[in-house]
Amino acid sequence: MSLFVFLSHMPKLGIGFPIGSFSVTLFYFISGFLISRSYENFRARSSVPALGFYLDRLVRIYPGYIVALLLTILLIKIGRSDFYSIGAIFPPPELSGHVLRWNAYLLRLNMDIPAIDGPTWSLAAEMQFYLVLPLVAVLPFPLFAALVAVSMGVQQYAYHTLPPGDADWLAYRSLYGMMFVFCMGICLARRDDKRFAWLLAAVVAVQIAILAIAYPMTKPFANYSITAIALAVLVAVPVVDFAVRAGTPWLKPIDRFVGDLCYPIFLVHFPAMYCADLIYPQGKDLPPQWYALALGLCLVFALALHFAIQVPSEKLRYAVRGFSRRKQAA
């Protein structure tokens, strides 16, 4: 998924399908599935589960994010005017005190604060989900189902009534429009309770009807991500269910390592492209060497971030948490 997000941001690849929106939606579903199970572990083992959960998420998210943010700031300071490829599509924001402060806080990057490290706006939505999860986790089922319905309604309202820019924010970038995707992941995690299994099936059925009937009739396609979101929602259920049920023992270490690299790749692919512009200044024409350099730098940066920052912080996280990774997957 991180690679798809990377490719969606690469300039002049000519990919017609919005694989970035598809990947972000799929990630939200997986996050709802995994993080809800993680929170249930805290509820089972702690007298103050929300506090332990929040600390766990901070140690998981912030060390790598802060390092990637500082690297991005340094590169913008050095060569903003030389970012001829990615900078022409996603211009780096001005590094004012207000922007720097709120990027450090992270929580408003999908709202009114521009993300210095471009794709991390979706990380802000993820953090907002973490904040409300302790409340969502204890909602009675009727209220949980109502939350899903309201979120789906917000998304459809945005796509069918608002200008493309406003619709993109409300339906895709904000937690309001994407909360139902996180909740679908929660439903899959709780599928042993038939109520949640039926709710998940109902949401999938509604999405099929929207994609097959409503969208062709109303044609709200001014927003580029609408089809990708609907397709990701449909693909997510069988893909995640298959991944949970299947598994070859000897592949598990490889799968875990590749999974661990996803977050660093997500964090550093913008800095990697900035560096590629600085190292390979060839004007507006991007030769294959530029793409190879950007991919190579991204892998190098991601590996460095993983071993230097993520591995030590993960050890600290499990030590503070008090139960091991083997007991749960988030």
Residue 327: predicted pLDDT: 46
- Name the residue ranges covered by the structural domains of the chain: 15-21+140-246, 46-138+252-323
What's the confidence (pLDDT) of residue 328? 46
pTM exceeds cut of 0.75: yes
Q: 178-206, pLDDT tens digit by residue?
A: 999 999 999 999 999 999 999 999 999 99
How many Cα atoms occupy the beta-carbon half-sphere of 44 within 13 Å? 10
Per-residue pLDDT at 225: 72
Average pLDDT over residues 113-125: 95
φ, ψ (nearest 5 deg) of residue 233 = -60, -40
Which has the minimum average pLDDT: 16-20, 180-184, 264-268? Answer: 16-20
- Asked if residue 45 has pLDDT above 70, the reply is yes
Q: List own/partner pairs for 158-165 with CB under 8 A and 24 or more apart.
A: 159/220, 159/223, 159/226, 160/218, 160/220, 163/222, 164/222, 164/223
Please classify residue 96 by burial: count the beta carbons closer than 10 Å to its beta carbon, then call 0-12 exposed, 13-18 middle and 19+ buried: exposed
Dig out the tokens for 186 from the structure: 């929660």
Average pLDDT of span 121-146: 97
Q: Counting runs of H as helices and runs of E as strands, what totals does the chain give? A: 15, 0
Query: Using CB atoms within 10 A of its CB, is residue 80 exposed (0-12), middle (13-18) or buried (19+)?
Result: middle
- Give the pLDDT score at 140: 98
pLDDT average, residue stretch 220-231: 72
> How far from 114 is each of 72, 94, 121, 122, 256, CA to CA, in Å?
13, 9, 8, 12, 32
Per-residue pLDDT tens over the stretch 293-314? 999 999 999 999 999 999 999 9
